[in-house]
């Protein structure tokens, strides 16, 4: 199960002054799932208004009610369902979202499954965030020390309704990969927001 304190520790790094994001990419889709444009840029190149809006979107996935709205699932592929999808996510994480061809495949897979399962009434966007968190060591007094234990790099995906002028609302669905557990990366799990039917493999 997810630990609420772990999720809160992550979200404390999701603001303008302590930004943990390096890159953001996304695909706009009409309600039938057809591509309506995409983007891929360094997060720091966004203007302040867009930074704030996108931080709100990413944070909404991680800060959702733990173990009720945001739940943890095995993604090791032990049952044969998720191995290929996990490999794709790992490749996107390792390249820091800098592979547009792989992102296009990812968007098509996610869009097809989302439209098939939910038949959305609105246009929607699939947004991807790449970030990292330098996990500081906690001393015996629970205070953070200057040394770090681990650098946790991660992806956040958010599926949001999109309105006029490509203005996204907050996400209805999304995930954090890899999961963050006991203040460390948990590569065997993924934290998913909402009904898992939007995921392209059975969790």
Of 168, 169, 180, 176, residue with least CA distance to 199? 176
User: Which range (6-15, 73-82, 129-138, 176-185) has the least confidence?
Assistant: 73-82
As given in the structure block, the two tokens for residue 39 are 């983007």
Tell me: the pLDDT tens digits for 56-75? 999 999 999 999 999 999 99
* pLDDT at res. 138: 63
Q: Is the dihedral of CA 167, 169, 170, 175 positive or negative?
A: negative
Dihedral angle of Cα 173, 178, 184, 188, to the nearest 10 degrees:
120
CA distance 39 to 23: 11
* pLDDT value of residue 145: 53
Per-residue model confidence (pLDDT) at position 143: 55
User: Using CA atoms, how far apart are residues 78 and 13, in angstroms rounded to an integer?
Assistant: 33
What pLDDT is stored for residue 148 in this prediction? 62
In the predicted model, what is the mean pLDDT of residues 3-16? 92
pLDDT digits (tens, 9 = 90+) for 143-177: 555 566 789 999 999 999 999 999 999 999 999 99
Q: What is the pTM of this model?
A: 0.93
Contacts within 8 Å (CB) and 24+ apart, 15-18: 15/55, 16/48, 16/51, 16/52, 16/55
Band (pLDDT 50/70/90 cuts) for residue 10 is: very high
Question: Reduced to 3 states, what is the DSSP secondary structure of residue 121?
Answer: coil
> Averaged over 176-201, what is the pLDDT?
94
The pLDDT, as a whole number, for residue 147 is 61
pLDDT of residue 149: 73
Query: For 18-47, what is each residue's pLDDT tens digit?
Result: 899 999 999 999 999 999 999 999 999 999
List the domain boundaries for the chain.
Answer: 4-198
Q: What is the pLDDT of residues 74-113, one digit of tens each?
A: 998 765 678 899 999 999 999 999 999 999 999 999 999 9
Which of 24, 31, 41 has its CA nearest to residue 158? 24
């Amino acid at each position: 199960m997810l630990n609420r304190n772990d999720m809160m520790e992550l979200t404390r790094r999701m603001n303008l002054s302590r930004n943990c994001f390096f890159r953001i990419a996304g695909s706009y889709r009409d309600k039938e799932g057809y591509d309506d444009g995409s983007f891929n840029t360094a997060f720091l190149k966004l203007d302040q208004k867009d930074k704030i809006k996108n931080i709100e979107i990413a944070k909404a996935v991680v800060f959702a009610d733990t173990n009720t709205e945001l739940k943890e699932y095995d993604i090791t592929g032990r049952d044969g369902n998720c191995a290929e999808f996990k490999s794709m996510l790992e490749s996107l994480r390792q390249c820091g979202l800098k592979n547009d061809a792989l992102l296009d495949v990812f968007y098509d897979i996610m869009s097809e499954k989302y439209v098939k399962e939910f038949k959305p009434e609105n246009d929607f966007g699939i947004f991807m965030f790449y970030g990292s968190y330098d996990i500081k060591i906690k001393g015996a007094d629970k205070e953070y020390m200057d040394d770090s234990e681990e650098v946790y790099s991660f992806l956040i995906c958010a599926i949001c309704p999109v309105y006029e002028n490509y203005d996204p609302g907050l996400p209805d669905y999304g995930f954090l990969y890899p999961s963050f557990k006991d203040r460390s990366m948990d590569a065997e799990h993924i934290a998913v927001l909402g009904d898992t039917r939007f995921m392209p493999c059975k969790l």
